[in-house]
Amino acid sequence: MEKVILGGKEILVRKLVAKDIARAKDHLAYFDALLDEDLYISTNKRMVLKEEKSYLKDMLALQKKGKCVYLVSEYDGKVISHVEARLKEDKSRHIAVLGFAIAAGFRHIGLGGRLWEILLSLCQTDLSPKPRIIEAGIFVGNIASLGLAKKFGFRQVARLPNQFIQKGQLIDEIIVQLYL
């Protein structure tokens, strides 16, 4: 879909496609490496290959229905990032929620910013109904994510106390929103 050159690396950014299900092992390796780092991300569930395939199938089905945009980045044939915007349902269907991560070695070279640019643009064209609000929930200490959100004009709308437990500590969640 798009090649970006950042930090001297040529990175391919594309939407999730059916062939990703056959490549679920690559996606699993990427997620496992993120979990190994114990980052400020909300999940700590390690999936087995069957679960990863089923997750990717679900994402693909949602994307086909216009309920999700899921971008995969690859470097040298390896999955190095995913960013997604997923519409909520029913009376909250005007809100799209972001999920995003980049593998170690590819952060702080501008990739997050470039991916958000592409994702936010696709939210306007690919999601149905078109969202009125884009939202993200971010750990209070996640400086890079909060910086990224600020850069794109998101506003903090709430701080939910003690939403996560990480390394035995309770951590607040910051909810940021962008009105389209």
Ligand X SMILES: CC(C)(COP(=O)(O)OP(=O)(O)OC[C@H]1O[C@@H](n2cnc3c(N)ncnc32)[C@H](O)[C@@H]1OP(=O)(O)O)[C@@H](O)C(=O)NCCC(=O)NCCS
What residues make contact with ligand X under the rule CB under 6 A? 39-41, 100-102, 107-113, 138, 142-145, 147-148, 151
Nearest approach, Cβ of 90 to ligand X (angstroms)? 24
Strands (E), 36-152: 68-75, 78-87, 95-102, 133-139
Nearest approach, Cβ of 34 to ligand X (angstroms)? 7
Question: Closest CB to ligand X among 60 and 102?
Answer: 102
Residue with tokens 């999920």: 99
CA 58 to CA 78: how far, in whole Å? 21
Question: Closest CB to ligand X among 119 and 138?
Answer: 138
- SS3 call for 85: strand
Written as six digits, the tokens of 141 are: 């200490």
Question: Closest CB to ligand X among 123 and 138?
Answer: 138
Asked whether the CA dihedral 146, 116, 39, 138 is positive or negative, the reply is positive
Nearest approach, Cβ of 166 to ligand X (angstroms)? 12
CA 40 to CA 53: how far, in whole Å? 24
Nearest approach, Cβ of 87 to ligand X (angstroms)? 18
If you ran DSSP here, which 8-state letter would residue 145 be given?
H
Nearest approach, Cβ of 18 to ligand X (angstroms)? 26
Question: Closest CB to ligand X among 57 and 166?
Answer: 166
Question: Closest CB to ligand X among 112 and 131?
Answer: 112
Q: Which residue is nearest to ligand X (CB)?
A: 112
Q: What are phi and psi of 62, to 5 degrees?
A: -65, -40
